[in-house]
Amino acid sequence: MKNIVILISGRGSNMQAIVNAFLNEKAAGAQIAAVISNRPDAAGLTWAAEREIATAVLDHKQFAGREAFDAALAELIDGFAPDLVVLAGFMRILTAEFVNHYVNRLINVHPSLLPAFIGVNTHQRAIDEGVKLAGCTVHFVTAELDSGPIIAQAAVPVMLDDTADSLAQRILAQEHQLYPKVVQWFVAGQLAVVGKQVRVTAPACADGFLQAPSELGSSQAPSVNVLLSAPSA
């Protein structure tokens, strides 16, 4: 049984999507061992506790610096013997020591189609640049910000009347679909990191995964799975 620890800073909507996927028995062989937050008032802690998931708080404001907090956080996480650590709206930049401690078992979702729009304010930047597609990326975390090996991406159209908020809502809906799927792949041993590339060996997947809208002209269009594979030799 694999243990999953999820880190949040707020309501944890992606955490909720992952937990619901497991509660619905869509992923076997793993359990949500704990939900941990750096903010005592994080609404997601109450949600998780109501579902009998262990919760813990480690307030970053009680530490003198980032290194001390990250060391204490790693000690807390390791108490749950994690096989996978999931960042789900955890609003902290992590030290290299922390990231390296969980190499290839620490994942994050970023609200852009990486490597585009690394950092913050991704939705407004996408609109300002006039891109036609935006989206989200699930990736392994490395010491370099938003630059770890990409596991999967989901794309949505950028509409002419989009605001940062409206675009964010559509992308978040895709995150809620994609992130649980990636966690399930990890649990099933279907992810392999080869350099900067991640090989996805889930059924019907080859070397990558992209979830994209079926009709780019419609803001409410349903999504379809577009599988990316290298041509055979």
* C-alpha span between 226 and 129 (Å, rounded): 25
Q: Are residues 58 and 153 in the same domain?
A: no
Task: Please tell me the predicted confidence (pLDDT) of residue 224.
Answer: 37
Q: Are residues 117 and 229 in the same domain?
A: yes
> Catalytic residues, which ones?
110
Tell me: pLDDT of 133 over 70. yes
Q: Are residues 93 and 132 in the same domain?
A: no
Q: Are residues 213 and 159 in the same domain?
A: yes
Summarize the confidence of residues 19-34 as an average pLDDT.
Answer: 80
Summarize the confidence of residues 112-135 as an average pLDDT.
Answer: 97
Q: Are residues 86 and 61 in the same domain?
A: yes
Supply the mean pLDDT for the chain: 88
* C-alpha span between 4 and 21 (Å, rounded): 13
State the DSSP string of 124-144. Answer: HHHHHHT-SEEEEEEEE--SS
Q: Are residues 120 and 233 in the same domain?
A: yes
Q: Are residues 125 and 227 in the same domain?
A: yes
Tally of domains within the chain: 2
CATH number of the domain enclosing 39: 3.40.50.170
Q: Are residues 98 and 145 in the same domain?
A: no
Task: Please tell me the predicted confidence (pLDDT) of residue 73.
Answer: 98
In the numeric block, which tokens belong to residue 92? 């902290």
Q: Are residues 191 and 82 in the same domain?
A: no
Lowest mean pLDDT among 71-85, 161-175, 200-214: 200-214
Task: Please tell me the predicted confidence (pLDDT) of residue 211.
Answer: 73
Last residue of a domain, one of 102, 136, 162: 102
The range of the structural domain enclosing residue 121 comes to 111-233
Last residue of a domain, one of 66, 85, 102: 102
Sort strands 30-37 and 84-87 into parallel, antiparallel or unpaired: unpaired
Q: Are residues 117 and 217 in the same domain?
A: yes
Task: Please tell me the predicted confidence (pLDDT) of residue 215.
Answer: 41
Summarize the confidence of residues 46-51 as an average pLDDT.
Answer: 96
Q: Are residues 121 and 37 in the same domain?
A: no
* C-alpha span between 75 and 68 (Å, rounded): 11
Last residue of a domain, one of 53, 68, 102: 102
Q: Are residues 182 and 95 in the same domain?
A: no
- Torsion (CA) 59, 61, 66, 71 in degrees, nearest 10: -30
What whole-number percentage of the chain has pLDDT above 70? 85
* C-alpha span between 126 and 118 (Å, rounded): 11
What whole-number percentage of the chain has pLDDT above 90? 80
Give the chain's length: 233
